[in-house]
Amino acid sequence: MVPEDNFPQYIVFDLDDSHYGISIESVIQVVHMVAITKIPASPLWLAGLIGFRGRVIPVVNLRIRFGLQPISFELNTPIIILQSGKQIAGLIVDTIEGVMPLRLDGMQTPADMTIDAKFISTVTNQEEKVTIIPDIPKILAGTRKYDSKLNPRRLVSKINMVTDTRDDQQKK
């Protein structure tokens, strides 16, 4: 048997009553809820934009992205800041359980389980606890255009649109 120290480490978090894990190699930082700038005409699951280390990044409301019932955010609601390829984004989750080792030999793909799971990469069952490993590139699909480093011109246009809309509302 392989010692737990040799298993890949995952940040494990909850949404509703389900457990999810993201490899710590993808995670940059976990922050508490901050002010999020809404983007007009964006998908509902895209919570908006935040500033992070001099960069404007998109933030995904993972509950809505997964088709779960939305809830109100609290000041202690966690946002997982992660990197997928060149893109940096945030994921709003319910709670963080911590960093845990997950055995690779216990993982199954959705195809192995004959389920249609658009955002699931793999699933593991350890100590009678099922943990879902989400497919981050699929979750972030459609957010790349909101990353200031990857698409600065489009983002400036979107931010100007938000500012213009706010100015018009204040004049009324």
Residue-wise pLDDT tens digits, 22-73: 999 999 999 999 999 998 888 999 999 999 998 899 999 999 999 899 999 9
Cα–Cα nearest to 27, from 107, 130, 99: 99
Say if domain 4-171 classifies as CATH 3.40.605.10: no
User: Are 60 and 70 in contact, with CB atoms under 8 Å apart?
Assistant: no
Residue ranges per structural domain of the chain: 4-171
Q: What are phi and psi of 136, to 5 degrees?
A: -60, -45
Tokens describing residue 8? 């890949």
Which burial class, exposed, middle or buried, applies to 84 when counting CB atoms under 10 A from its CB (0-12, 13-18, 19+)? middle
> Which pTM value belongs to this model?
0.79
User: Are 79 and 63 in contact, with CB atoms under 8 Å apart?
Assistant: no
